[in-house]
Structure formats: structure tokens, C-alpha cells
Amino acid sequence: MRALSNIRDTDNSSRCAHLPRKRFGQHFLCDSTVIERIIAEIGPSSGDRFLEIGPGFGALTRPLLAVVSEMDVVELDRDLLEPLRVHCNSVGQLRIHHADALDFKLSALRSAVEEHRFRVIGNLPYNISTPLLFHLMNQINHLVDLHFMLQQEVVARIVAGPGEKAYGRLSVMLQYRFLVESLFKVSPESFKPIPKVWSAVIRLVPHKNLPVIVSDEQLFADIVRQAFSQRRKTVRNSLRGLLKVAQIEAAGIDPGSRPETLSLAAFAALSRSCMTYSKEPHS
């Protein structure tokens, strides 16, 4: 990898000169120390294929391009397309896709080599981070890993375990698909404009082997969603209409427990119990 000191963008003022738009949730990363740390955590290699979501002026794009020589980015703000192209064209080949990341399909970027997968990075707008994570989770076969800057509260929710206050639907669904790791926190002063909250960088790597057995993933997702939509209720009540008390007990779960106390394995057991019951003949 080329030394980061040689690829650092020294013109922070030009990178942050664009008038940020609230509707896009724009907060541009302008701290070179944080940028270098993120690149070091990503650990890019020349053969990697990257997709960046919301590159802005290329704070992360430029140092990555210096290593991989070509990459794709998705940017929704039309006014950033030309400045980004100018800012990065001297470093490597940048393919800019003017699109909404929530609608963008990784399959559109697949190479002739069918097994080619992508490393996805981004400083994500806070207002779309959760739906975007679910959107990418549904395209997991195209992913090598994800490295994102997110609101610290969202990262806490992703990595939380049973019994923790932040534990919820996002924790269960993403931990089912990914090994999740909170890497480090980032202060508001590292951005322009300065946000009101702290951020954090997270790494998500698809499991080679899923940690639990789930026969019907849609049913599993429905159970998790309904359980946490009424998280203060007991499992008996929050899952009413999906599982009977006998099914909950057959899964080894106390019907009087609350959703935030249940592990990933417990939710998987509930989904299997529901399927088993549905296959039994009714009297």
C-alpha cells in the first residue's frame, strides 16, 4: 500500500466548501487522522473491488484509489458529481453512479467473473443508515465486507447483546448475517458541518457459516420484527398471532420473558417451532 502521507488530500477547505444539504444528511469527513485510521482498518489491497456509498468530495475515495486504481461510487447529490470527478481523476479510474443507494443493486456492477464480490464502504447519512443496511443485507452474496461510519447510537444497536438497552431488531437481524465489530468512535468535530452526535466506524463481515439454523428466513424476520415492535410486552403477548404459548414453550423459551432478553439462537428456535407446529395436522 502506498504510504498514506503521500496520498492524503491536503485541501480540506475545497473538500468541505460545498453547501451541505439537510435532505441528504450531509456531514463531510474532514479529519485527516480519522481518514487514515479508517483506511488502515479497511486494509485495501490492489485486487480488491470497492463500492463507496456517498463519497462526497472523495475523502476516503482518493486514498483507496491510490491502492486499487479503480473503483465505483454511488452519489445522489448531482452537484457533487463533477467536483468528485475532478478531485479524484488524477489518482485512478473512478466510475460514478448518480443514484439513490437505497435503490442501487450490486448485481449491476458484477464483472464477467461471477464470483467477484465487493467491499462496500461509506460515511452514511444518519437518516438512511438502517434501511440501507437492510438493503445491503439482502444482497449479501455480493459482499466481501462492509466498513461504515454511522451514528454511534446505531453502531451500539448493531453490536448489542441480549439484555443490553440497545439490543433490538437491528442487532438480531444483522448478527444473524454478519460478524459485527465496532472499531472506534469519531467526534463531531471531525465533520463539516459539525453534527450534534458522535459517530463510530463499524466492520461487518458476512458469516461463512450462519451461527444458527433458520429454515424460513422470512418467518424468522417476521418474528423478530413483531417481537421488538412491542418490546416491553412479554413474548407471549408480543408474538400473539404468530406463535401460541405451546409453541413458545416448545422452543425452550419462557412465554413470560421479554424480547430484549432473547438471544439470536432463541429467535431461531422460535421460528423453527412455528414451522414445526404449522406442519402438524390439526384436529
Contact call for residues 51 and 132 (beta carbons, < 8 A): no
Task: Answer whether 74's CB lies under 8 Å from 103's CB.
Answer: no
pLDDT for 156-188, tens place per residue? 999 999 999 999 999 999 999 999 999 999 999
b (16+ CB within 10 A) / e for 17-53:
ebeeeeebbbbbbbbbebbebbbeebebeeebbbbbb
**pLDDT computed for residue 130 by the predictor:** 94
Q: Where are the beta strands (DSSP E) in 33-75?
A: 50-53, 70-75
CA 103 to chain centre: 15
pLDDT for the residue 12? 44
**232 and 248 Cβ atoms separated by less than 8 Å:** no
Q: What is the pLDDT of residue 242?
A: 93
pLDDT of residue 205: 98
- Tell me the whole-structure pTM to 2 decimals: 0.88
Contact 204, 179 (CB under 8 A): yes
CATH for the stretch 4-206? 3.40.50.150
Cross-strand pairs, 145: 119
Q: What pLDDT, on a 0 to 100 scale, did the predictor assign at position 178?
A: 98
How large is the angle between the packed helices 81-88 and 61-68, nearest 10 degrees?
50
DSSP structural state of residue 3: -
Whether the pLDDT of residue 25 is over 80: the answer is: no
Strand order in the sheet with 50-53: 93-98, 70-75, 50-53, 118-123, 143-151, 199-206, 178-186
Listed in sequence order, the DSSP H helices in 71-216 are 81-88, 129-137, 152-159, 169-177
Query: Contact 154/126 with Cβ under 8 angstroms?
Result: yes
The CA–CA distances, whole Å, from 261 to 180, 181, 283 equal 19, 21, 34
Delimit the domains of the chain by residue range. 4-206, 217-275
Helix (H, G, I), strand (E, B) or coil at 49: coil
Q: Has domain 217-275 been given CATH number 1.10.3720.10?
A: no
Task: Give pLDDT tens digits for 132-146.
Answer: 999 999 999 999 999
What's the whole-number mean pLDDT along residues 32-58? 95
Q: Cα dist. 88→55, 69, 177, 189, 208 in Å?
A: 11, 11, 34, 25, 35
